[in-house]
Structure formats: C-alpha cells, structure tokens
C-alpha cells in the first residue's frame, strides 16, 4: 500500500503551504516508507508516500504521461497492467510501474477508463492542460480514500483521515466504485455489475467455474518484485488462499526470490484455536510457517495506536484489528512487504453464522449484497490499515472483481444453509475445492465452521478487552453516554472506551460521521434478530453471538446425511471439544 494526498484550489500557494502539504503527507509515511514525492502545479498539490512492490527501482510517484501534462498519484495495484499496455502501444512509458497505465489510459480514453482497471486502487489525477482533476476508488473499497473541503474552497483527497482532518472543515469516506470529476463537480458510480441492483440471480451453481475463477484471482495477486506470504488462520478462507498459492508456486520454476515455498503467518494467544488449525494447514501444504504470539496485555497496550491507525471506533473492527496490527509489525520485521489475506468470503457466500436463519433465498441474497457494499467500512478498512500501519500490503483474492461477479451470479438457493442436506455455511465454496483425487485441504479443514478472527486468536482476548474497558468507564459514564456522544451513542463500556480514544485523535464531527452506527450494524445483529428473535438474547458483536448455531452444528453431526463428504467434517469438528467448551465458558 501507499499513501496519497492531493489538494486542489488552494488560495495560499506560498512556500509555507508547500511545507504544510509535505508535513501532512508525512502522516502517511507508515503506508509508504520507501520514498516520497510531491508535484506542485499552480494551486494544486499531489503528494505520495511509496511502498515499492512492483518495479521498486523506477516506479516512484507521482507518475506522468509522456509529456508530463497528466499527473497521477496512486495507492494500490493494477493486476492487468501488462494487458492494458498492449492497448497503449502508441504511448511511451517511463517506468515499469503497474500504476503508470492510469495516466496513459486517461490520455487515451478520458474519464471513462476506470472500469478497465483490474485491481485495488485509489487514485487522484490532474490534467494540467485544463486544470481539471478526477479521483476514483476501486469497486469494493479495498484501498481507503477520503475526500474533504477546506474553508478556502479547496478540495482534498487522502488515503487516511489523519492527513486531512485538521485542515478540512468537512470530509467523507469516498464511496467505493465511484469517480469524482471536477468538470462535473460531482460523484458518479462507475461500478455497476448486474448483481449490484440486488436482482436475484438465477445462474446454476457450477463448482468448476467457481474454483477456476478463484484460482485466477489468487494467481494474479502473486504479481510482485518483493518477498511475500499469506496470512493463515486455519479457517476455510485463508486456507484456500494458501492452498491455491502454494500449489501455483510449486508448479513454476523460479517462482520467487524466496524460492517456491510459500511463507505463511498466524498470530494468537498461546493455545488459541487459530494457531492450532493454522499449524495443521501449514504442515499439510508444506508452507514455511511462522507462529506469532501476543499477550492480552500487549494487545491492550497497543489499543490507542491501533485506533489512531485504523480510524474507527467500531467494536468488532478494533477487536480484530489489534492482533492483525501486531502481526503486521512482526511480518515486516521478517522482511515481508506483501501478504495475501482471506477477507470478503463471508460476505459473498453468507458465511456468518446468522445466515443459518435466513428465511429464503431472496433475503439471503439481499443481505450478502448489503454486506459487500459495507465492506469498506469494516473488514477492508481493518485489513488495509492494520497492515499498512507497518508498511505491509494486504491483497484480498476473494474481492477480485471478476470472482465476485461469478460468485454473486450463482442462484442464492445454492448458498442457502441446509443442514438436512449436509450444507453448512459457504457450502458452494467448500464443495468447489472438495477434490478427492488431488485434495487442496484435509476434509475437516475444508469444512471447519466459522470462527470470528477476534475469537480465533484466543477467547480470553475479548474478555480482556471488556475487563480493561470496565476499569476505565464507570456506570455513570455509560448512563450519560447519550449526552456526551449523541451521535452513534455507545451502548457498552467497551464501545465507550474506544470512542474516547477515537475522539482524542479525531475530534471533529465529520470524523465521527465516517464511522457507521456501532457494533450491532457491523455484525448484522439487527438482521439476525429479524430472522430469529432468539438472537436478541446475545448482542455481543463477537462470533460468540452465534453460539446456538455452533452448538446446533455439533449436535447434528451424528445425523448428517452426507456421510462421505460433509459428515466426515462434522465428526472432526465435533472432536474439537475444547473449542466448544471455551466458547460456552466465556459466554
């Protein structure tokens, strides 16, 4: 990941203003510690902090077209840049950077080129010929981008709040799949896939089509000139990413400067479920595995720094971001600059356990659409900012634009959870990689039930957070929370505690409005309760809220009909009595 900052229409064009832009850009240096760049044109500034992943020697930014009339600063990766260069043979490129194609595509096609990009990106482009500019964000919002307005009429864009919040009167989270054009003075959507309108798709499920689409997604994300690895929790999603990547690297010669053996990383409290499962997967795949540990106290000590970097007060996000933040620091210390991660699968396939209660395929599909559209406020934000805090880039194969279109075109009847037919959550994905001849994963891993990341790193982690918050937030403070925080009022001591830290770093009203409405929104408790009122008894945004579903899955193991496939996996899951006991005890 990189850090971008762009300002247009400044009244002050003095050296002092230039120095201020440089100072604000430095606040993003954690995102791009490898080099800095700044382009000034009259009252316009484009700054960049670079994390060099592709073409480390010549790809410094801002980037330009041939005659330097078009300037662009980019955060992200364009995976199809080589194919796009073929369309631009008449253009002269200055670097080997994947992002340089953006300047040339604009020169060739104008503002309507964004849908041609296959990747994760946020960029700002200045056309000095008429002093117009555009800004755009990728389809799902994998990379962060904020837009702000100064009192002097200036327009700002930045990768993180901290680079513009002090100098802008108002700012917003730039919506995913949108482009802003100064010529039109407005945002417009460029990403409009058929499923986006929430029309119920009807294409029959084809496991091979889904498998091949995911394999292509993983392989294209191995585009790198630096050491890389995979985040491996031992759950279905990260294990599939690791399995596909490992298989691909083993099939090609000279795959990488680290060799053809994939490096994998997992973090947790000692004895946590994720560490055990990840080790088993790593041994099965033959990855070079690193087990990273943290203590509850180390996590608590990092909370303020975590909230400063991830820029949210959402409970679920902070719980999961802290171990990921600590893991990223250790990964960077090992010399790794890029990792593959498994975010997005639960949203696409209805993997959260409350989807067991979905009453019909229409509501199931509508809820997956809603979850995908909110990813940029939760899991994408966490994965990007927690890793970027230490100059590590996270790539997410499940959120590949082509793969999403394939997965979201499947008739949602196939995604419905039907335990009487042996279908647990994400069955269509599990089944697609259930290959007896050349297994990707052991059966019990392939059919391992959902474990929320903040739970999987160790159940005492959440308990420690709650206890810590209780020591800092009194009963009277929580009772008067609506007067102190009338907007998105915290309803628990833990939420109140995170809010106080957030407000210390980002005190403006515009900042708190960039965060959605609290933990119940993040975990879709409202939808879970709508589908089954019994869920109202446990509103904790942790995966523990789904305890009843977990227990039901274990109880029904012995009666599962599909013994040859899913039945075996249920039996294996049922053997993890320690996991079930720990969840029940913690609650």
Q: Is 266 noted as a catalytic residue in this protein?
A: no
Q: Is residue 128 part of a domain?
A: yes
Q: What is the pLDDT of residue 569?
A: 30
Assign residue 454 the CATH number of its domain: 3.40.50.620
Q: 293 and 433 share a domain?
A: yes
Write down the residue that tokens 């798709």 correspond to. 201
Are the beta carbons of 352 and 546 closer than 8 angstroms? yes
Lowest mean pLDDT of 47-61, 392-406, 428-442, 560-574, name the range: 560-574
Q: What is the DSSP string of 96-110?
A: --GGGHHHHHHHHHG
Q: 213 and 105 share a domain?
A: no
Q: Exactly one of 2, 44, 266, 369 is catalytic; which is it?
A: 2
Are the beta carbons of 448 and 234 closer than 8 angstroms? yes
The conformation of residue 199, written as its DSSP 8-state character, comes to P
Q: 227 and 143 share a domain?
A: no
Q: Is residue 174 part of a domain?
A: yes
Q: 181 and 62 share a domain?
A: yes
Q: 504 and 426 share a domain?
A: yes
pLDDT digits (tens, 9 = 90+) for 497-529: 999 999 999 999 999 999 987 443 444 567 777
Helical H runs in 394-508? 401-407, 427-432, 443-446, 453-456, 460-472, 475-479, 481-484, 493-505
CA 344 vs. chain centroid, Å, equals 7
The model's confidence at residue 294, banded by pLDDT at 50, 70 and 90, is: very high
Q: 418 and 500 share a domain?
A: yes
Q: 326 and 442 share a domain?
A: yes
pLDDT digits (tens, 9 = 90+) for 449-485: 765 554 667 678 999 999 999 999 999 999 999 999 9
What average pLDDT score do residues 409-423 get? Answer: 93
Cα–Cα distance for residue pair 114/139, rounded to 1 Å: 10
Cα–Cα distance for residue pair 120/315, rounded to 1 Å: 26
Distance set, CA 483 to CA 19, 44, 53, 498, 578 (Å): 40, 41, 47, 17, 43
pLDDT digits (tens, 9 = 90+) for 248-270: 998 875 555 455 679 999 999 99
Q: How many domains does the chain have?
A: 2
Torsion of CA 212, 215, 216, 219, to 10 degrees: -160
What average pLDDT score do residues 429-439 get? Answer: 96
Q: What is the DSSP string of 228-272?
A: EEEE--SSHHHHHHHHHHHHHHHHSTT--TT-SSPEEEEEESTT-
Domain of residue 147 covers: 3-192
Q: 210 and 182 share a domain?
A: no
Q: 489 and 448 share a domain?
A: yes
Q: 279 and 325 share a domain?
A: yes
User: Does the pLDDT value for residue 557 go beyond 70?
Assistant: no
Under 8 Å CB-to-CB from 487, ≥6 apart: which residues? 509, 512, 513
Distance set, CA 3 to CA 31, 140, 158, 222, 584 (Å): 5, 18, 7, 21, 43
Residue 367 φ then ψ, to 5°: -70, -35
User: Does the pLDDT value for residue 581 go beyond 60?
Assistant: no
Q: Among 138, 160, 192, which residue terminates a domain? A: 192
Q: Is residue 577 part of a domain?
A: no
Q: Is residue 582 part of a domain?
A: no
Q: Is residue 557 part of a domain?
A: no
Q: What is the pLDDT of residue 443?
A: 92
Q: 333 and 188 share a domain?
A: no
Assign residue 131 the CATH number of its domain: 3.60.20.10
Are the beta carbons of 392 and 53 closer than 8 angstroms? no
Q: 173 and 311 share a domain?
A: no
């Amino acid at each position: 990941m990189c850090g971008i900052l762009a300002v247009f229409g400044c009244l002050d064009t003095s050296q002092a203003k230039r120095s201020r832009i440089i100072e604000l850009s430095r606040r993003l240096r954690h995102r791009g510690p490898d080099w800095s760049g700044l382009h000034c044109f009259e009252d316009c500034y484009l700054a960049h902090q670079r994390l060099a992943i592709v073409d480390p020697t010549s790809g410094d930014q801002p980037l330009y077209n041939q005659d330097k009339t078009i300037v662009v600063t980019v955060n992200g990766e364009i995976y199809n840049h080589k194919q796009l260069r073929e369309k631009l043979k008449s253009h002269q490129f200055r670097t080997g950077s994947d992002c340089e194609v953006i300047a040339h595509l604009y020169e060739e096609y104008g503002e309507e080129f964004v849908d041609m990009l296959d990747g994760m990106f946020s960029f700002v482009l200045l056309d000095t010929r008429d002093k117009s500019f555009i800004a755009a964000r990728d389809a799902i919002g994998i990379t962060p981008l904020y837009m702000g307005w100064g009192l002097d009429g200036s327009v700002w864009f930045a990768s993180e709040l901290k680079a513009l919040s002090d100098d802008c009167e108002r700012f917003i989270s730039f919506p995913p799949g949108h482009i802003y054009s100064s010529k039109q003075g407005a945002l417009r959507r460029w990403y409009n896939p058929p499923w986006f309108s929430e029309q119920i798709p009807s294409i029959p499920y084809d496991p091979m089509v889904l498998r091949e689409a995911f394999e292509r997604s993983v392989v294209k994300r191995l585009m790198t000139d630096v050491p890389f690895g995979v985040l491996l929790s031992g759950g279905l999603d990260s294990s599939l990413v690791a399995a596909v990547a490992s298989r691909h690297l083993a099939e090609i010669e000279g795959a990488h400067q680290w060799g053809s053996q994939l490096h994998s990383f997992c973090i947790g409290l000692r004895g946590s479920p994720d560490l055990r499962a990840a080790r088993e997967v790593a041994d099965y795949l033959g990855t070079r595995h690193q087990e990273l540990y943290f203590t509850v106290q180390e996590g608590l000590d990092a909370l303020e720094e975590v909230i400063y970097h991830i820029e949210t007060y959402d409970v679920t996000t902070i719980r999961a971001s802290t171990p990921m933040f600590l893991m990223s620091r250790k990964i960077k210390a090992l010399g790794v600059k890029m990792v593959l991660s498994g975010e997005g699968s639960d949203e696409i396939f209805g993997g959260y356990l409350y989807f067991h209660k979905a009453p019909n395929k229409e509501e199931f599909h509508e809820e997956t659409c809603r979850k995908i559209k909110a990813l940029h406020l939760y899991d994408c934000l966490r994965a990007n900012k927690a890793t970027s805090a230490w100059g590590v880039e996270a790539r997410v194969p499940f959120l590949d634009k082509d793969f999403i279109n394939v997965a979201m075109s499947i008739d949602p009847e196939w995604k419905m959870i039907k335990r009487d037919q042996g279908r647990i959550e994400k069955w269509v994905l599990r089944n697609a990689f259930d290959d007896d001849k050349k297994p990707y994963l052991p059966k019990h891993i392939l059919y391992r039930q959902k474990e929320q990341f903040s739970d999987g790193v160790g159940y005492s982690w959440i308990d420690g957070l709650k206890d810590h918050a209780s020591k800092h937030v009194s009963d009277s403070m929580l009772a008067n929370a609506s007067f102190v925080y009338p907007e998105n009022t915290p309803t628990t001591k833990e939420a109140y505690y995170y809010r106080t830290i957030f407000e210390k770093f980002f005190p403006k009203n515009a900042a708190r409005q960039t965060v959605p409405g609290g933990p119940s929104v993040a975990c879709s408790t409202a939808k879970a309760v709508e589908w089954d009122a019994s869920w109202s008894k446990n509103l904790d945004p942790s995966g523990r809220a789904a305890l009843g579903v977990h227990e039901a899955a274990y109880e029904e193991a012995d009666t599962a009909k599909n013994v040859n496939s899913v039945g075996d996996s249920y039996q294996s899951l049922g053997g993890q009595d320690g996991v079930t006991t720990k969840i029940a005890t913690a609650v």
